[in-house]
Structure 1
Amino acid sequence: MANNGVPLQVPMLTKSNYDNWSLRMVALLGAHDVWEIVEKGLVIPENEGTLSQTQKDSLRDSRKRDKKALCLIYQGLDEDTFEKVSGAKTAKKAWEKLQTSYKGVDQVKKVRLQTLRKEFEVLHMKESELISDYFSRVLTVTNNLKRNGEKYDDVRIMKKVLRSLDPKFEHIVTVIEETKDLEAMTIEQLLGSLQANEERKKKKEDIKEQVLKTRVDSPKEEHGNATNTLWCSHRVDIVEVELM
């Protein structure tokens, strides 16, 4: 239960969602006021008999919070994954076992970082892709890089976006680079500016299509009217011949 009495659902860990799962779990454990015990670990003194009553009460509370954290972590695991951490005596140990199991040792982490860096470098907007969709792709990669220890500030991300947009945005990119200070700009502001430009382009294209359609349809209407006039005239001639 959260503090307001609303139950918080524990996310399930799968083979492919560890990064997102761990972020959600940190938030969940924090909401239950037990993340600190997971992060710092349960500290048990060598000789509990020498503790004062206040210290004993504090230790009892820490143990209780540790068990609560461990229980929440267990709830997010299937049977096979639970077996990997079932020997952990504290929430911190269980968390670290999962971290090692899913994020791998240093060498695996290095390989993952190299792959993500390459993925970031080759990112390029597709011709028919929306600005919002491209931003989502870029942020997904950069968020994965950050989770694996890489430092990517907003300016670097925005520069990457600007130099990898579709050529149809070349004009607005030039304007932004010449008139805007990226250091004072947020990713959300850049997204807003590019989306506004995208919307204006779409409206212009819609107008052009409408004008073109009107021009194409007009000759058909004129040709149709001329045919009707000719037919009517021919019909009148026939009637006059029959009456004579």
Structure 2
Amino acid sequence: MSLSFQYPRLTKDNYDSWSIRVKAILGSQGAWEIVSDGFVEPDEDAALILIQKFEKDKKKDQHALSIIHQCLDDAVFEKVANASTSKEAWGILENSHKGVDKVKKVRLQILRGEFEALHQEASESISDYFTRVLSIVNQMKRNGESIEDVRVIEKILRSLHQKFDHVVVAIEENRDLENLSIDELNGSLRVHEERMNKHKKEPLEQVLLVKHSSAERGSAISRGRGRGQGRGYSHGGSRGHDRNQEVKRVDDEKPRGNP
């Protein structure tokens, strides 16, 4: 059974993630080196071994170029339609989407501002916040920023919601941030988050249990009153019936006068 492979498509907004995925695909085919370094065409007097190597590299290059073509839609393909090598096509795409150094610097400044402005929302989970932080960090790295893990860790600890203040103090006092990994911090904070959610959930369950018990007691009292009222009406009705019978007997026993 053969499975069809879906190549990632380049759009105007996804070049960074697209390039990472396509590099991995080209690498798995042993073709990324030819894309990044290119190859040199031998002169007429080159030895046979060099000519054979060139032919092999040329074939690998065309294979890489065909993979790049499959990752483009018709509009983007027009930009590289005249490129004869994979290196040339890759350079065109990189320059048109990622921009020259000046554009990269401007984009990096924007990302730095977004990084510094990061703060966890009150309803945002630790997992979601880490995803948001690391997304910006990865974009900064792809645009040339050298950012160490300890800087990311310090930023996360500074920007957590105030409900984690006691946890942050404990981590800063008891852990060496220089030797703490981002994954370890993530795991530690998620454990504390689960405990906090559990403590928050238990009082709510107790309140619901008390309300349920009160409702059951109220229902039982109402049923008891209903049964008592039923018995009272029954006895009253029986006594009224007996009195009517007694009056009737007295009337029957009275002497009747002459007509």
Q: TM-score, normalised by structure 2?
A: 0.86
Match of 1:114 in 2: 109
Match of 2:244 in 1: none
Q: 1:94-173, aligned counterparts within 5 Å?
A: 94-173=89-168
Contact kept, 8 Å, 1:8 with 1:28, in 2: the verdict is no
> Does 1:184 find its partner at 2:179?
yes
Once the two structures are superposed, residues 45-68 of structure 1 have per-residue CA deviations (whole angstroms, 9 ceiling, x without a partner) of 4xx122111111111111111111
Match of 1:208 in 2: 203
Deviation at 1:188, TM superposition (A): 1.4
Deviation at 1:140, TM superposition (A): 0.7
Indicate which of 27, 35, 39 corresponds to 2:36: 39
Once the two structures are superposed, residues 200-231 of structure 1 have per-residue CA deviations (whole angstroms, 9 ceiling, x without a partner) of 11222221110011222333333332333233
Runs of 4+ in 1 over 6 A off after TM superposition: none
2: CA distance, partners of 1:40 / 1:235: 99
Match of 1:194 in 2: 189
Match of 1:28 in 2: 25
2: CA distance, partners of 1:7 / 1:43: 34
The structure that has the greater radius of gyration is 2
> Does 1:51 find its partner at 2:73?
no
Question: Residue type matched to 2:38 in 1?
Answer: G
Query: Does 217-226 or 138-147 show the bigger shift?
Result: 217-226
Aligned length: 238
Contact kept, 8 Å, 1:42 with 1:90, in 2: the verdict is no
Indicate which of 206, 214, 217 corresponds to 1:219: 214
2: CA distance, partners of 1:224 / 1:80: 72
1: CA distance, partners of 2:69 / 2:156: 40
2: CA distance, partners of 1:219 / 1:11: 60
RMSD: 1.8
Match of 1:12 in 2: 9
Structure 1's unaligned 5+ residue stretches are none
Once the two structures are superposed, residues 173-211 of structure 1 have per-residue CA deviations (whole angstroms, 9 ceiling, x without a partner) of 111111112222221111111111111112222211100
Q: TM-score, normalised by structure 1?
A: 0.91
